Structures are given as C-alpha cells and as structure tokens.
Structure 1
Amino acid sequence: MIHLRSIAASWLLLGLLACSKAPAPAPVPPTPVPPLPVATTFTNPLLSSGPDPWVYQKDGFYYYMATTGNNVTLRKTAKMADVGNAPATVVWTPPSNGSNSRDIWAPELHFLDGKWYIYFTAGPGNCCGGQRLWVLENSAADPTTGTWLEKGRIFNPNQDFWAIDATILEQNGQRYLLWSGHDNAATEEQRLYISAMSNPWTLTGPRVELSRPEFSWERQGVLPVNEGPQILKHGDKTFLVYSASHCTTDDYALGLLSTTATADPMMASSWTKTPTPVFVKNPAASAYGPGHNAFFKSKDGQQDWLLYHANSRAGQGCSNERNPRMQPFTYRADGTPDFGTPATVGVALPRPSGE
C-alpha cells in the first residue's frame, strides 16, 4: 500500500509540473532599422514650371512664389532643395473681371512694419496693355494662413503708366519701390524706375529712371527690355540685378547696376551700369533665357544662392515651360557678384549648406 501511495504521489508531482507555466523564451532583440539616408544633393529644375521665381526668408523658413497667371500661390519650406515637395497654398484669387483680374505675374512676398505684403502685377486682360502693380496685406504670423486684404494699386498719380515686377529696396532708413515700366503711354520699351514710399502700399514723390535698354544684349527679341529688378547687398555695396531683352528670346540675360550702401538711390548718377551681361544662356546645360532672379542665403547663412528661371530648350520663349533653378554664387575681389554660368539640368549639386 505504501508503495502504491509513493507511485501516486510521484504521478501527482509530475502532473503538477506539467501543468505549470513554462518559462518564457528570452526576447529576441529587434533587427535595427538603418536610418534613411539624408539627401546631400539636389538637381535642377526645382519644379517643372515656375516663371519669375521669388523667395523670402524668415524665422527658419523659405517662402517661394512664382508666376501662375491666374492666382497668387505661396509655398513654405524649411529647405530650399525641397521646395518642389512643399504644399502650394493659393493665398489670393482674382475677381472674375476688372482691372486686376487677368495675367497675374511676378508676385513677391515681403515682411514690412510687422506685416506681410505681396506685390504683384495684374491687368484687365489683353495681356500687356493694362498691366499695373497691386498690393496685398496680411497680419498673420504665418503668411500661408490668415486673411490677405487688397490694399489696392500702388502707383504715382502723375506718372501712371504700364508697370510690372515690383520689388523693395531699403537704404539710409528709407524704403523704395523699384519696378519695370513705360516712359509714356506711347512707348513699349521697358525701363527701370524707383520711387520713395510713405508706407508699404503708397508711393510718394516722383519716379526716377535708373536704367533703360542701351546695349545690344538688352535689345534682343521683339522689344528692348529692362525688367525684373532685384536688390543684392554685400559689404558696402548695393547691387540692382535686372533682366534684359524680351522673354521671347533665348538671349534673355541678367544685367547689373551698382552703387554704395549709403548713396541716394533716387539719384540716377549714383548707379553704375556694367556694360556686359552678368549671367547668360548655356545651351550645353539646357539653360536658355536665364533671368528674372531672386537671392537667398543658405540655412546656415554661409552661402549666397541665385534663384532664377530658364527654358530647357531653345525657342520656348515666355511660356510656362520656364522652370525655376538655383545655384550658389560668390563675390570677386572688387566685391561684385560672380554668378558663373547656369548649372546643367539633371546634374546633382550639393544642397545649400545647413540642409
């Protein structure tokens, strides 16, 4: 009997052991996932279309704009090399008819006196005859949000002629508007003008002509043209970079006016024009008619970059085939900018430093 009890106890012990929870296997460490490689290069063009590109930097972001023809669109990105992936926000749509309902060109965003302003060109139709300059205002911290209010047309009542491509110059504590326009109602030659501003939407005093097409490289295409003025400051110098010749020609190029950082910009004699273009076509790089540019600093502030449009093939003229491109530039020993030659489409370039 004792023997049977011992056997029964042994079986009971074995049963209890069999029913007990087996120890969990040691966890298998997850296979590490390598981080995605950080892009160090980009290629031009930045977008498939984008005439008259513009960029403004504030608080670590780049705000990009270009001509759409039918509205004002804004892109916001932390990295200029990624601007093609940035969402496009339509911030203003024109009325169905009226004096600013058609041909929306060359918008520029500026932060002035604590608010955002957009300067753009528009007209009533027929493409060119009625083009004038207009201003939008937004008090939001982020210009892709908030409400854009029309401040109306910006013009000089005594010299109110065809006008496009407005930009801003601040010098000696004064603010100025620069643009491309006609000398009178009978001419179509485009010249560069400047006028002082009493606030971001009002001109005060007369306009002054700073440049007109003089050289053969400024007079290519169907009309002689100086347009797309842009300001570049470096050291003790102020430069006005502009586009020359008509956009119908592959020889559309960049020209340069120079003055000092303390000169009176309203005095035409303060400016010196460089007699040769400073940035021209490069057929080997698929860059025809390069121009209507803007400037920006790299994320870390160490590099200067040129943003411009060009056509990828000859003979594409003023169409939406013009696409935005960018490349770094340097300065010569005399302080003037050296833009080099247009970079080749599709060839990898280092991203702006800091990206």
Structure 2
Amino acid sequence: MLRLPQLLLHATFAVGAWGQSYSNTTTYTNPILAKGGADPWVFRHHGWYYMTYTTNDDVTLLRSQVLTDWNNAESKALFTPPPGMNYSTDLWAPELHQLNGTWYVIFTADPRNDSPSPEVDMYCPYNCPAVHHRMYLLEGHGSDPWSATFVYKTQLDTFDQFAIDGTYFQHTSGLYHIYSCWTTQYTAWPANLCITKLENPWTVASPFSERQIISVPSLPWEKTPYGRAENDRLSSNEGPQQLTNSRTGQEFLVYSAARSDNRNYCLGLMELAPGGDPMNPSDWRKHQYPVFYQNPAESAYGVGHASFVKSPDGTEDWIVYHGMQDPTNGWSARTIRTQKFTWNDDGTPKFPKPGYGPYDAPSGQ
C-alpha cells in the first residue's frame, strides 16, 4: 500500500539542542527526507545523526537529533568546488569518516559533467560517459564534523582509471580503499569492485599490479536487464559498504548491484573469511542471492546504496538506503529511507522487505 511520506502517528514535537525542531513519535514512515536524494551516508556522533548524500554540485552535510525525519535538519555545505577543476562537476556519494582523529570526506567527481569528448569516447567498446570519474578527498580538523573546517586534500589514486563510490574498509591488517572500477581504462562495462591497500587515508600503497578485483557482476540479479547474457553493458557492482557483526566479529561488504536508475537495483553481500586477507579475492565469499531487493507489493523499487547506523540507545541496527516508488522516472525518483534490521543465526544480516511503514521508531528516539 502506498502512503504519503512522513505520515506521523501519535506525534508530539520538541525542541532539541541548538533550537532544532523535531518530531517525537512512536512511529514513522518512509521516505525520511521528503525532497528526495540518493546515496545516503549516515553516522552518529556525540548525540547527533549526520548525513551526506549526492547533490551533484557540492558536498552537503545534514545533522538531526532523530534518524527518521530529516525534513527540518540543519544543513551546511562543507565544500563547493571551484569551476574548471577535475572535481568540479557530478559530485557523487560523499562519505564522512573519522580516521585517527581527523575527518575525511571521500567522494566521486569529474571535470566534464559526465560527458567525455568524442576523441575519448571512441576508445570505449560501449558508451562511457563516466570515463573521467575519479575519487577525491577533503580533510577536516575539529572535535566534531559540524564545527570542523574542511579543505580539499587530494585525488585518491585509482591508477587514472574510472572510479566511483569509494569507501574505507577498516581491518586489523590495515586500511583499504574499496570502490567501483573497470577492468581497464576504457572498458566501460561491467563495473566491478576493486580494492587497494592504503598507507594512510589519502595515499595508496598498492601499485597497479597489486590492485585486486574482488567482485564482478556475474549473477543474473547483478545484471541489467535481469539475466542479460549477450554482453556486460549496464551490469554493475558499486556502492560498497563495510558492515561488521559486533557480536560475532564477522566482516561483510554490502554492495549495490544492477543499475541505479532501474527497478532491479538491489543489495548483494560478500563475507570475508575469518582471518582472511582483504586483498585476496579468494578470501571473499559472495552470497548467491540478493539480501535486499524490490518489494512490488508496496511499490518499493530500486533499493540500494546503503549505509548502516545504530539506534540512539545503541541496541538496534538500522539500514539507510535510497529507493523509488515509480521506477519509470529513473534517478530523479530516488528518495532516502530507513528501516531496522536484525541478524540471522549464521551471523549474516537479516534485512527486511523495503516499504513505507508506518514502522516503530528507533529505540531511544
């Protein structure tokens, strides 16, 4: 059943710190940001939830005291790129991480509004509008991300090849960069998952010969259209996110598959073997079925590019993701949603069916 967004039951309103007005309810409905958005990255720090998401033009940070309603959240631009740079246009999927006491924003951008010249495009076997996309970093110093001042740091080396949706993967053996990549500079499709080891958050330690592809879209649900056999055009693995089972210590990589403007966009799951090396592809096990996918009964389509966060009291796990009600409208139809998830007996995440609610609010909210 379709429901109007932000239908709040038994609602009261309160004013939190800094004068922010927020809803204090026992239930909520999706989407949690009415104006739309995609590629949400959410984390909790010192009593606040923070969110970044794709705006295309800049890196915007929101903060809210509740996870389930961002319509009245405070907002500020952390970074607006100057024109004429390699990172001036199409800023996608920013993530904000605190590493060794310093804040880093990792994001995707390109110099040409996703439009290569014919002299470049001709090298690609398929059309390759994203051929110039690369990964970039901002650096911020301060006790919290809201008061920190962010400056452009550097381009994160991906060997002058296509790279989008980069994230940090933190492991006992070190820090890694996992991102969506092509096999070669002009391959165009499929989009795979690559990993490199980092010397520090802005320096890649792996030479190109050591870069590893740990996943390719080989399963029917990872392809667009579903089960495409004749070629790999539009088949994607992207949006990787680290997820750790705090009870068992199991390390997972949740990623998006198929195509982000399509009803079939979904989440896949990879698990790192106990004691495994993140740089060794054979130490990763891909689950053979998607773990979070469309729910036509509730018109919840194209669900993917997730991040993960705890409830205010730390007792519950929540997935924040984007999806569509009308997949025929493609990227413009995406909105940001959240739902609680639990864990299976084997330690893998147990995600719910995507929908609109109403759902119980997070514990402690």
Normalised-by-shorter TM-score class: 0.7 to 0.9
In the TM superposition, residue 173 of structure 1 has moved relative to its aligned partner by 4.4
Query: Contact conserved, 2:303 with 2:324, CA < 8 A, in 1?
Result: yes
Q: Equivalences for 1:201-212 in 2 at 5 Å? A: 201-205=202-206, 206-212=210-216
Q: Which amino acid aligns with 2:94?
A: P
Q: Equivalences for 1:47-66 in 2 at 5 Å? A: 47-48=33-34, 49-66=36-53
Q: Which runs of 4+ in 1 moved over 6 A?
A: 34-37
Q: Indicate the residue corresponding to 2:75 in structure 1.
A: 88
Q: Indicate the residue corresponding to 2:32 in structure 1.
A: 46
Distance 1:125 1:261, change over 3 A: farther
Identity %: 40
Q: Indicate the residue corresponding to 1:5 in structure 2.
A: none
In the TM superposition, residue 286 of structure 1 has moved relative to its aligned partner by 2.2
1:174-224 deviations in Å (ceiling 9; x for gaps): 111111011102211200011111111111113211100101111114511
Q: Indicate the residue corresponding to 2:345 in structure 1.
A: 333
2:213 equivalent to 1:227 = no
Q: Indicate the residue corresponding to 1:194 in structure 2.
A: 195
CA RMSD of aligned residues (A): 1.7
CA distance in 1, matches of 2:322, 2:24: 27
CA distance in 1, matches of 2:274, 2:164: 25
Q: Indicate the residue corresponding to 1:28 in structure 2.
A: none
Secondary structure, counterpart of 2:282 in structure 1: helix
Secondary structure, counterpart of 1:269 in structure 2: helix
Tell which structure's C-alpha radius of gyration is larger: 1
CA distance in 2, matches of 1:285, 1:125: 38
Select which of 261, 269, 278 maps to 1:256: 269
Query: Contact conserved, 1:51 with 1:67, CA < 8 A, in 2?
Result: yes
1:292-346 deviations in Å (ceiling 9; x for gaps): 0000111111111111000111312223x21000001111111111112102x2x
Secondary structure, counterpart of 1:317 in structure 2: helix
CA distance in 2, matches of 1:242, 1:35: 36
In the TM superposition, residue 262 of structure 1 has moved relative to its aligned partner by 3.0
Q: Equivalences for 1:271-290 in 2 at 5 Å? A: 271-290=284-303
Secondary structure, counterpart of 1:195 in structure 2: strand
CA distance in 2, matches of 1:200, 1:186: 27
Q: Indicate the residue corresponding to 2:162 in structure 1.
A: 162
- Structure 1: runs of 5 or more not aligned: 1-33
CA distance in 2, matches of 1:231, 1:66: 17
Secondary structure, counterpart of 2:81 in structure 1: coil
In the TM superposition, residue 261 of structure 1 has moved relative to its aligned partner by 5.1
Query: Contact conserved, 2:33 with 2:69, CA < 8 A, in 1?
Result: no
In the TM superposition, residue 146 of structure 1 has moved relative to its aligned partner by 3.3
CA distance in 1, matches of 2:13, 2:134: 51
Query: Contact conserved, 1:64 with 1:83, CA < 8 A, in 2?
Result: no
Query: Contact conserved, 1:108 with 1:119, CA < 8 A, in 2?
Result: yes
Query: Contact conserved, 1:172 with 1:262, CA < 8 A, in 2?
Result: no
Q: Indicate the residue corresponding to 2:278 in structure 1.
A: 265
Q: Which amino acid aligns with 1:262?
A: G
Q: Indicate the residue corresponding to 1:306 in structure 2.
A: 319
Q: Which amino acid aligns with 1:83?
A: W
Query: Contact conserved, 1:246 with 1:252, CA < 8 A, in 2?
Result: yes
Q: Indicate the residue corresponding to 2:110 in structure 1.
A: 123
Secondary structure, counterpart of 2:31 in structure 1: coil
CA distance in 1, matches of 2:198, 2:192: 19
CA distance in 1, matches of 2:66, 2:131: 38
Secondary structure, counterpart of 2:262 in structure 1: coil
Secondary structure, counterpart of 2:69 in structure 1: helix
Q: Indicate the residue corresponding to 1:136 in structure 2.
A: 138
CA distance in 1, matches of 2:13, 2:361: 19
Distance 1:86 1:292, change over 3 A: same
Secondary structure, counterpart of 1:148 in structure 2: strand
Query: Contact conserved, 2:131 with 2:161, CA < 8 A, in 1?
Result: no
CA distance in 2, matches of 1:130, 1:93: 19
Q: Which amino acid aligns with 2:256?
A: S
Provide the TM-score with structure 1 as the length reference.
0.86
Query: Contact conserved, 1:136 with 1:151, CA < 8 A, in 2?
Result: yes
Q: Indicate the residue corresponding to 1:179 in structure 2.
A: 179
Provide the TM-score with structure 2 as the length reference.
0.83
Aligned residues: 317
Query: Contact conserved, 1:236 with 1:260, CA < 8 A, in 2?
Result: no
CA distance in 2, matches of 1:330, 1:38: 24
CA distance in 2, matches of 1:341, 1:327: 9
1:209-261 deviations in Å (ceiling 9; x for gaps): 11001011111145110000001101131110100011232101111101245
